[in-house]
Structures are given as structure tokens and as C-alpha cells.
């Protein structure tokens, strides 16, 4: 953006530091697979080159993100993170990493950032109450003020209500998803959207359990997802855990429904 405000320059510098640090931690501790199927581990020189190329790719992608069209600082911040997600995936693949391996690395890198931010964000609530339902409701309501405030499209659009102890947040517009979908379509690169789907769209299952911090799994449910082509992300943050530890379905709701109809 021309004449970028100081607050945004500082925020971008902070995100750059967070993302590069996460990239170094994750890539130093995982194996990758190249397009020929060979397994390899990057050492510091390869990781340094990747981090430099990642920042250059993010800079190249940023003008197409439409940050200036978004109605709030929080929404812009989330799209900036989506830019880094896309840049990470594209840079890995340009370095010869197979798409499936790239998606796994991107998901791990994003989770490294997400879980730290979520643990910090939810800490005040977790200190105030031990009730999992209250922890979920209060934390999610706080996140819906920042960074997921919902002024409506082109920003976040969400309908929120409570049933008993459970909180429902039905997103009908998600700026990060919209950006990556647009990038995927404009560049004819379906792997870009799939990398987003296998990272951002799967974090809420374990994320809900981090917020609840009750020693149980299964505080989240979602059957429909915008990145799968559905009209809504129908999220439910459940006070009572289901006891099922999962990271979300690997196939879209329509695919699952088709399988059930065929059986």
C-alpha cells in the first residue's frame, strides 16, 4: 500500500519475524519430499535461502491481496497471514518440493504460529474461569472483536448465537479464504487453495481444545466449509467434549455425503 501507516509497517515487521522464526523451527525438524519422491532434510543454508525467497514471494503477492479494500485492521492482518501462507506453499514448490509435502510443511508452520497466538489470546480467560464452555464462549467473542471482527463483506461476515452452553459462529464470508481462492483461480493453481484448506481450515479442532484446556478432546464441530465450496463455515464451539480427537475431515462434506448415499 502507498503511504503505509506506521502501525501497519510495525505489524508487518512483527509478522515477518514471527513467520520466519516459525519457518526455521519447523523446517529444521521435519523431512520433505521432492517431486521425484526423494526424502530430504534441509539444513541451515537451504532454510536461509527459503526464508529469503518466502519474503520476496510475499512481497510479490501482496498487491493482489486487496488489503486496502478491507474494512478493518484485524481483517487486513488475517489476509496478510494468508499471503504468507500462499507464499510459503508456492516457494516450497518452486524449490522442488512435492505439493503434498509442501502442504504438510505449510500446515505445520501455520500451526506453530496459530497455537502460540491462540494460547496467548485465551490465557486471560483461562485464568479467570475453569469452565470449558465459558472459556470457549468468552475467548471466541473476544476474537470476534479482533482480529475476526465482522463488519460484513468484503470483511468477515458471521452470524453468532448461543444454544445452552454451545456457541455457534456461522461465517458466510472469510477474507483470507476469499483471497486464496481468488489467487488459486487467477493463477490456475488448485494447489494454492488446497494448501489453505489443509492448514487454516483444520486448525479449529485442536484450537478449541487449547481454549477449553479441560484435558479432553472434541470441543469443535463443523460440517460445511467455505474453502470446500460451501456457502458457510458452520462452526460450533462445544462446552462438552465429544471425546474424539480429530483435526477435521480430509474430504469435503459433499464427498462424504456422496459416499454415505452410495453405501
pLDDT digits (tens, 9 = 90+) for 42-91: 999 999 999 999 999 999 999 999 999 999 999 999 999 999 999 999 99
User: Residue 120 in 3-state DSSP?
Assistant: helix
- The confidence score (pLDDT) of residue 4 equals 79
Mean pLDDT over residues 212-240, rounded?
A: 97
- The confidence score (pLDDT) of residue 82 equals 99
Contacts of 122 (CB under 8 A, 6+ apart): 135, 139, 210, 211, 213
What's the farthest any 2 CA atoms get from each other in the chain?
59
Helix, strand, coil shares, percent, the chain, to 5 = 60, 10, 30
For residue 195, pLDDT beyond 60: yes
For residue 262, pLDDT beyond 70: no
Mean pLDDT over residues 200-229, rounded?
A: 97
Q: Where does the pLDDT of residue 244 fall: very low under 50, low under 70, confident under 90, or very high at 90 and above?
A: confident
Contact call for residues 206 and 119 (beta carbons, < 8 A): no
Mean pLDDT over residues 134-139, rounded?
A: 98
Omega into 205 within 30° of 0, i.e. cis?
no
Q: Measuring CA to CA, which residue among 156, 183, 181, 3 is closest to residue 70?
A: 156
Contacts of 234 (CB under 8 A, 6+ apart): 168, 170, 222, 223, 224
Mean pLDDT over residues 21-33, rounded?
A: 98
Q: What is the DSSP letter of 34?
A: B
Distance of CA 231 to the CA centre of its chain: 18
List 237's β-bridge partners, or say none.
167, 220
Average pLDDT, rounded, for the chain: 93
- The confidence score (pLDDT) of residue 121 equals 95
- pLDDT tens, 30-46? 999 999 999 999 999 99
Tell whether pTM > 0.85.
yes
Contact call for residues 180 and 197 (beta carbons, < 8 A): no
Q: Where does the pLDDT of residue 249 fall: very low under 50, low under 70, confident under 90, or very high at 90 and above?
A: low
Distance of CA 15 to the CA centre of its chain: 14
Amino acid at each position: 500500500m502507498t503511504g503505509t501507516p506506521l502501525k501497519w509497517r510495525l505489524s508487518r515487521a512483527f509478522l515477518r519475524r514471527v513467520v520466519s522464526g516459525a519457518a526455521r523451527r519447523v523446517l529444521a525438524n521435519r523431512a520433505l519430499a521432492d517431486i521425484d519422491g526423494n526424502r530430504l532434510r534441509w539444513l541451515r543454508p537451504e532454510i536461509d535461502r527459503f526464508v529469503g525467497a518466502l519474503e520476496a514471494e510475499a512481497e510479490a503477492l501482496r498487491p493482489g491481496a486487496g488489503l486496502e479494500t478491507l474494512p478493518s485492521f484485524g481483517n487486513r492482518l488475517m489476509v496478510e497471514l494468508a499471503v504468507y501462507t500462499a507464499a510459503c506453499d508456492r516457494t516450497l514448490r518452486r524449490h522442488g518440493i512435492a505439493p503434498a509435502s509442501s502442504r504438510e510443511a505449510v500446515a505445520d508452520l501455520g500451526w506453530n504460529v496459530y497455537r502460540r497466538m491462540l494460547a496467548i489470546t485465551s490465557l486471560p480467560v483461562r485464568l479467570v474461569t475453569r469452565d470449558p464452555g465459558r472459556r470457549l464462549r468468552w475467548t471466541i467473542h473476544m476474537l470476534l472483536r479482533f482480529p475476526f471482527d465482522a463488519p460484513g463483506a468484503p470483511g468477515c461476515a458471521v452470524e453468532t448465537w448461543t444454544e445452552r452452553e454451545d456457541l455457534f459462529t456461522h461465517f458466510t464470508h472469510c477474507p483470507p479464504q476469499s483471497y486464496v481462492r481468488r489467487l488459486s483461480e487467477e493463477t490456475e493453481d488448485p494447489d494454492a487453495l488446497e494448501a489453505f484448506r489443509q492448514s487454516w481450515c483444520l486448525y479449529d479442532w485442536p484450537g478449541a481444545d487449547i481454549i477449553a484446556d479441560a484435558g479432553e478432546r472434541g470441543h469443535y464441530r463443523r460440517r460445511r466449509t467455505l474453502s470446500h465450496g460451501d456457502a458457510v463455515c458452520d462452526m460450533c464451539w462445544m462446552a462438552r467434549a465429544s471425546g474424539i480427537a480429530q483435526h477435521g475431515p480430509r474430504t469435503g462434506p459433499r464427498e462424504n455425503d456422496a459416499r454415505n448415499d452410495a453405501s
